[in-house]
Amino acid sequence: MSSENITAPTLRYLVQPGGCVSGSFRVPGDKSMSHRSIMLGSVAEGVTEVSGFLEGEDALATLQAFRDMGVQIEGPDNGKVIIHGVGLNGLSAPKKPLNVGNAGTAMRLLMGFLAGQNFEFTLTGDASLTSRPMNRVANPLREMGVVVETAAEGRPPVTVKANGKVNAIHYVMPMASAQVKSCVLLAGLYAEGETSTTEPAPTRDHTERMLRGFGYDGKTDGNKASLVGGGKLTATNIDVPADISSAAFFMVAASIAPGSDITLQHVGVNPTRDGIISILRLMGADITLSNQREVGGEPVADIRVRYVGLKGINVPEEYVPLAIDEFPVLFVAAACAEGTTVLTGAEELRVKECDRIQVMADGLKTLGVNAIPTPDGMIIESGEIGGGQVETHDDHRIAMSFTVAALRATDTIVVNNCGHVATSFPGFSVLAKQVGISIEEQVV
């Protein structure tokens, strides 16, 4: 048999219907902050120690990229990473293209972050990432005088011919995106004068907060963020809180499965990321925050969720950027909520790891739910969730969302192609089983 006919094994989940979730536990570290801690720690002056680092494939790809540029990084060891910073201009040219796997955040931020270096570099990734658009970060970089080349239709691989020169700009963003904002601000570290971004709606501000944590002065005024280039970053210690995007799966699980009562420990509740809490509360969810505190400039809390019946809502558009990664599992909540839920203003979901609007609508329909995709969202009517096989299109959040749906299903749900769950939530199936979801992994 020729090797071309051998199909690589894939992972799928068999999830039995029913059950509830209970217990007090901590989900893995925040992916957004894990990426940024490696990036900023690598170009800081001194040694940065990170705890709570997410040892998922995406964040590890960022870590490897900086090793490939000459940064000495110890770990990760149980979430602990020690980074020996080389200063803003201390990186070395990588000997080969930097492969960031499935990590869209890494690619988009690195395009800006490395734009001020004195070497040419190429960024590439897996099949999913190389099908995703990069022009929305390439275009503002071009306005800053950076030479950026992409494959057809603005897709990776991306080559940046950096020559140490970046022009400061005031960029008015056509759409709300933390990745675009961060890309421009990180390039602005290397520009003369002030660089700023103005976005149509607020998005996550981890980059701005972490820059301040490293002693770099930046300003935030409403929807405008700005900084002046030419400063330096000073090493610090970072405690990465648990990822609210990962906690979201269990928040929805407890909200839809009768008898559930969970407490999620040490979760980051940054106000630019807490849309999941606001939306679930609007649907009637019983969510209590306790032990609220600030860790390394980021607000953290323990989140308790107890089951109550949800009601369908029209999702306020101002919450959309604050919950953009959580909508796949919120669609599952909507399917279990009494009445109709309508989402608009979320066209960005169509250019994530997959077209999350279409893929979630297709999967919900397979399970018997009336889900109607629209150009910028979805209309979902509550109804019985049946069993069936659903496709994830190699998207980690789709896989975990349909796993949660089984809690209210009437028959087994088979979730295909779940290998990418490890990009953001290593150990998901083990934890899901421990807290009450009847899940079994199968290699096929």
Cα separations in angstroms, 246 against 25, 28, 123, 141, 170: 12, 7, 27, 31, 34
What distances in angstroms separate CA 431 from CA 187, 426, 428, one per listed residue? 39, 10, 5
- Cα–Cα distance for residue pair 151/153, rounded to 1 Å: 7
Q: How many CB atoms are located within 10 Å of the residue 442 CB?
A: 13
- Show Cβ contacts of residue 444 under 8 Å, excluding neighbours closer than 6 positions: 9, 10, 11, 12
Residue 325: active-site member: yes
**Cβ-contact 21, 412 below 8 angstroms:** no
Q: Beta-carbon neighbour count of residue 303 at 10 Å? A: 25
Catalytic residue (one of 325, 355, 376, 394)? 325
CA 329 – CA 338 distance, rounded (Å): 16
Length of the chain equals: 444
Q: How far apart are CA 295 and CA 115, in angstroms?
A: 30
Residue type present at position 137: V
- Residues classed as catalytic: 325
